[in-house]
Structure 1
Amino acid sequence: MVVKPDFVAGSISGAADRVGVTMISTELAGRGTVNRRVLAEARTGLHRLLAHVGVLPIPSGSDDSASHSGRDADGSAGADDGITYLELRADSAVMARGAGLFEPSVDLGQHVAVGDLVGRVHFIEELDRPWQEYRAHLDGLVCTLRHPTLVQTGTTLVNIGVPLRAHSRLEN
């Protein structure tokens, strides 16, 4: 995902934005959990990324050569490297309009279209009040999904990433 600079104080991405450097982050397993498989995939992905941008050498004879590094045999960026860059925009967030319990209707990584149900908030202070449905307002991919069930007004329930049309700053 590519996130527009926001310069928010107290965040890693804001600090990177303020000094003009690229900040790389990932959503690993989600929900504040991790396991050995996810850690192994994260290490492999990090090494591939660092090789792709030229920080680390591509190990000779490894499976990380031309087809997997995003580079053609001549070392140039491949036309179809199988990577889809996503952008989180100012309008990517689906936010709670009231406090309650969030019931997701989508999974992390799921494609959604405008109008798709992404979740409901059940109001615990007003038990006779019907739940509030939340729908996708963009076509894209569910990039973040709220895990703790309890939400407040303004809590981000889902972020929908949209395909980035321009090249990433990471691409050569």
Structure 2
Amino acid sequence: MDTTPNTKIWTDLDLDAEGKQIGYFRLPLAVHDRSGDDVGYSFEAIPVVTIRNGEGPGVLLMAGSHGNEYEGQIILMKLIRELRAEDVRGRIIILPGANAPAVRADRRNSPLDDGNLNRKFPGDPDGDPTSMIAHLIESELLTRVDYAFDLHSGSLSIEYLPCAVVARPSDPDRMGDALDLLRAFGMPTGMIIEHSTGGNRALIGACRRQNVQHLSTELGGGGGVSRAAIDIAEHGVMRLLHHVGVTRRPLTERPPLDCRLLKRVPSWDYIYAETSERGLFEPFVGLGDRVEAGQTTGLIHFTTAPWREPQPVIAKSGGVILCRRIPARTGLGDCVFVLGKDWTS
């Protein structure tokens, strides 16, 4: 694909060619001197792999929308090295570091424009760098596929109970397909969200506009890499690819785990700190634990007045702990736990 009227990002790859191709999308950047004047151009390299073998479904695999979420990037890099063209029936496009500037800088958002890729769709071919990447994904990649699997983790400040995630489809008749994806992925926890956090500006919004089925993950977080989450999720990705028919044979013999289905509660039912003075949060519960309304989930201890009684943090709603705040230093308005409830159709 050369530069087209649809996008200013270019690549030497033919996205529709048969076989396995490895290369880059090139995101054009202006270079400025110290006075701020343009002195030339460079590009940011976004790694991409395409695998095509005859007719069949199309799948986009993504990670690195947020640069400091690591498990998905590792899973897709391993898959890139293992997949062969003869394994595929149809088309697979892999973006292991979709927001390449954020990946390079080891940041959630791009250092070029502070852009959060998962809040930039549908993007803009003439916009800031992150908007250009979002536009490329929606206009050039999603239009070529039937499924998009987007691998996320918690950021530096959040750790998730590892789970696969689908949003409730706008078409009720497609709910069964979404649940089938969760069960094929086969993680111990599957989460159904009623509304995407980013709405139409997130990848899920782009997928709905392009009639592409979507599944994402949350695989740990906290600035580290969860060995257990990678082990479960990489086999889940392999099962998904075979489930949707884009691989000719199963890539793993490991069966899916039984999947407990949860729905995320509304944000007003999360558990928040409600003390005006910042202190150290001591949690009493952890990921996967069930809490009841009115339960004390932890205490905030005040380092400036160590003799003061600690402030309890009370759950206003019951549910299962889906994710937790990592930094111990906590104050008014900080979310310490996100909850999920058992899903019923």
Which residue of 2 is the match for residue 47 of structure 1? 238
Which residue of 1 is the match for residue 261 of structure 2? 85
Which residue of 2 is the match for residue 33 of structure 1? 224
Which residue of 2 is the match for residue 77 of structure 1? none
Q: For residue 192 of structure 2, what is the amino acid of its counterpart? A: V
TM-score of the superposed pair, with normalisation by structure 1: 0.68
TM-superposed CA distance for 1:160, in Å, is 1.2
- SS of the aligned residue for 1:161 comes to strand
Which residue of 2 is the match for residue 147 of structure 1? 326
Which residue of 1 is the match for residue 205 of structure 2? 18
Deviations 1:41-85 (A, max 9, x none): 221233234444555566189343xxx38xxxxxxxxxxxx3222
1:21-170 equivalences under 5 Å are: 21=208, 22-28=214-220, 30-54=221-245, 56=247, 59=250, 62-64=253-255, 68=256, 82-90=258-266, 91-98=268-275, 99-166=278-345
TM-score of the superposed pair, with normalisation by structure 2: 0.37
TM-superposed CA distance for 1:93, in Å, is 1.2
Distance 1:117 1:53, change over 3 A: farther
TM-superposed CA distance for 1:5, in Å, is 2.0
Deviations 1:96-127 (A, max 9, x none): 11222111101111122223321111223444
**Does the aligned pair in 2 maintain the 1:123–1:129 contact within 8 Å?**
yes
TM-superposed CA distance for 1:23, in Å, is 4.9
TM-superposed CA distance for 1:15, in Å, is 1.6
Distance 1:61 1:84, change over 3 A: closer
- SS of the aligned residue for 2:299 comes to strand
Please identify which structure carries the higher helix content. 2
**Does the aligned pair in 1 maintain the 2:235–2:254 contact within 8 Å?**
no
TM-superposed CA distance for 1:16, in Å, is 1.8
Find runs of 4+ consecutive structure 1 residues off by over 6 angstroms: none
Please identify which structure carries the higher strand content. 2
Give percent identity, aligned residues only: 27
- Structure 1 CA distance for aligned equivalents of residues 245 and 295 of structure 2: 40
Q: For residue 15 of structure 1, what is the amino acid of its counterpart? A: A
Distance 1:25 1:132, change over 3 A: same
TM-superposed CA distance for 1:136, in Å, is 2.5
- Structure 2 CA distance for aligned equivalents of residues 143 and 61 of structure 1: 28
Gaps of 5+ in 2: 1-190, 209-213
**Does the aligned pair in 2 maintain the 1:6–1:14 contact within 8 Å?**
no
Distance 1:49 1:104, change over 3 A: farther
- Structure 1 CA distance for aligned equivalents of residues 265 and 299 of structure 2: 22
- Structure 2 CA distance for aligned equivalents of residues 156 and 41 of structure 1: 28
Name the structure, 1 or 2, with higher relative contact order (CA <8 Å, separation 6+): 1
Aligned length: 146
- Structure 2 CA distance for aligned equivalents of residues 107 and 61 of structure 1: 31
TM-superposed CA distance for 1:20, in Å, is 4.2
TM-superposed CA distance for 1:151, in Å, is 1.6
| Deviates most, 123-132 or 157-166 | 123-132
- Structure 2 CA distance for aligned equivalents of residues 54 and 24 of structure 1: 18
